[in-house]
Amino acid sequence: MKTIWSVVCVALVLGVVGAAQGAQSFDNLLPDNAIAYVSVRNVPEMVEKLKLTAGYKVFTELRLFERMLPPEKYAEAQNILDTFIKPLGEICTGEVAVAVLGVEFGADAVPEVAVFVDVSGTQDAFDDYLEETVFPLLDEQGLARETQEVAGIEVLKIGIEPDEDNAIFCALKDGVFILSPRLDTLSALLANIGPGPAVAMLPSNAGYADVKRALGQADFSIYVNLGAIIARAVAENDEAAPMWWAVGFSKLRAIGFGTTIGPDGSATSTMRLTTGGPPDGMLGLIARPGEPFTSLKHTPREAGLYYAVDVGSPEELYTKLISMVEEIEVQTAEVHIEEFEEGVAQLEALLGMKLEEEILPAFGGEIALYAKVPEALGIPPAALMIEVTDKETVERLVQRVFDLIGTLGEDAPRLTKAEHKGVEITTVLAAPMISPAVAVLDDYLVVGTSPAAVRSVIDAGPGNNIEAREDFRTTMAGLPTSGCAMAYVDLRAVYEFVFPLLAAAAPDDGPPAELMQALGALGEHLGGFGAVVAGDESGLTYRMHSKSALLESAMIVGPVVIVPAVMRARETAYAAASLSNVKQLAVAVMQYHADYGVTPQRLSELAPYVSSRGVFLHPMNSDKAGLIDLEKPSTIDEHADYELLLKGTNLDEIRDSSETPLIWEKKEFTEGRRVVGFVDGHVQQVLADSAIVVEIEESQ
pLDDT band of residue 431 (cuts 50, 70, 90) is low
In 460-549, alpha helices (H): 470-476, 491-504, 513-523
Whether 374 and 349 have beta carbons less than 8 Å apart is answered as no
- Mean pLDDT over residues 91-102, rounded? 81
- Mean pLDDT over residues 67-72, rounded? 75
pLDDT tens digits along 438-484: 999 888 999 999 899 999 999 987 778 888 888 888 888 878 767 78
Given this model, what pLDDT does residue 241 score? Answer: 46
Q: Is the pLDDT confidence value at 597 over 60? A: yes
Cα torsion angle, 202, 205, 208, 211, sign: negative
Q: Please tell me the least confidently modeled range out of 168-172, 320-324, 446-450.
A: 320-324
pLDDT tens digits along 125-148: 888 888 888 888 888 877 888 888
Q: Is the pLDDT confidence value at 559 over 80? A: no
Cα torsion angle, 117, 122, 127, 133, sign: negative
Buried b / exposed e along 586-618 (16+ C-beta atoms within 10 A):
bbbbbebbeeeeebbeebbbbbebbeebbbbbb
Q: Which residue has the higher pLDDT, 249 or 493?
A: 493
- The separation between CA 49 and the C-alpha centre of its own chain, rounded to angstroms, equals 25
pLDDT tens digits along 363-383: 988 899 999 888 766 678 899
Given this model, what pLDDT does residue 418 score? Answer: 92
- Mean pLDDT over residues 214-227, rounded? 78
Around Cβ 45, how many Cβ atoms within 10 Å? Answer: 17
pLDDT band of residue 29 (cuts 50, 70, 90) is low
For 270-326, what is the HEC assignment? EEEEEECCCCCCHHHHCCCCCCCCHHHHHCECCCCEEEEEECCCHHHHHHHHHHHHH
Percentage above 90 pLDDT, the chain: 12
For 125-149, what is the HEC assignment? HHHHHHHHHHHHHHHHCCCEEEEEE
- Could you give the CA distance from residue 406 to residue 404 in angstroms, rounded to a whole number? 5
Q: Is the pLDDT confidence value at 696 over 60? A: yes
What's the first-to-final CA gap in the chain, in angstroms? 44
Q: H or E segment at 78?
A: helix 71-80
- The separation between CA 694 and the C-alpha centre of its own chain, rounded to angstroms, equals 43
- Could you give the CA distance from residue 50 to residue 552 in angstroms, rounded to a whole number? 8
* Contacts of residue 472, Cβ cutoff 8 Å, sequence gap at least 6: 306, 466, 488, 528, 530
Cα torsion angle, 209, 212, 214, 216, sign: negative
pLDDT averaged over the chain? 77
- Could you give the CA distance from residue 600 to residue 613 in angstroms, rounded to a whole number? 17
Given this model, what pLDDT does residue 221 score? Answer: 84
- Could you give the CA distance from residue 138 to residue 161 in angstroms, rounded to a whole number? 14
Q: What ranges make up the beta strands (E) of 174-264?
A: 176-180, 220-224, 252-261
Whether 462 and 300 have beta carbons less than 8 Å apart is answered as no
Q: Is the pLDDT confidence value at 227 over 90? A: no
- Could you give the CA distance from residue 620 to residue 641 in angstroms, rounded to a whole number? 10
DSSP bridge partners of 39: 97, 221
Around Cβ 499, how many Cβ atoms within 10 Å? Answer: 15
8-state DSSP, 68: H
- Mean pLDDT over residues 604-624, rounded? 82
- Could you give the CA distance from residue 65 to residue 55 in angstroms, rounded to a whole number? 12
SS3 20: strand
Alpha-carbon distance values, 545 to 123, 268, 315, 542 (Å): 37, 4, 33, 10
Q: H or E segment at 630?
A: none
- Could you give the CA distance from residue 56 to residue 363 in angstroms, rounded to a whole number? 47
Given this model, what pLDDT does residue 514 score? Answer: 65
- The separation between CA 618 and the C-alpha centre of its own chain, rounded to angstroms, equals 27
Given this model, what pLDDT does residue 84 score? Answer: 79
Buried b / exposed e along 165-179 (16+ C-beta atoms within 10 A):
eebbbbbbbebbbbb
Given this model, what pLDDT does residue 240 score? Answer: 45
Quick one: CA torsion of 351, 356, 358, 361, rounded to 10 degrees?
Answer: 130
- Could you give the CA distance from residue 162 to residue 218 in angstroms, rounded to a whole number? 43
Among 14, 479, 26, smallest CA distance to 223 is for 26
Q: What ranges make up the beta strands (E) of 514-619?
A: 528-536, 539-546
- Mean pLDDT over residues 96-121, rounded? 76
Amino acid, res. 602: R
Is the preceding omega at residue 436 within 30 degrees of 0, hence cis? no
Integer-rounded Cα Rg, in Å, for the chain is 32
- Could you give the CA distance from residue 650 to residue 656 in angstroms, rounded to a whole number? 13
Q: Is the pLDDT confidence value at 395 over 90? A: yes
Amino acid, res. 398: V
Q: Is the pLDDT confidence value at 85 over 60? A: yes
SS3 27: helix
Amino acid, res. 310: D
State the pTM of this model.
0.66
pLDDT band of residue 424 (cuts 50, 70, 90) is very high
Q: Please tell me the least confidently modeled range out of 33-47, 338-352, 394-408.
A: 33-47
Whether 428 and 405 have beta carbons less than 8 Å apart is answered as yes
Sheet containing 642-644: order of strands: 642-644, 661-665, 673-678, 683-687
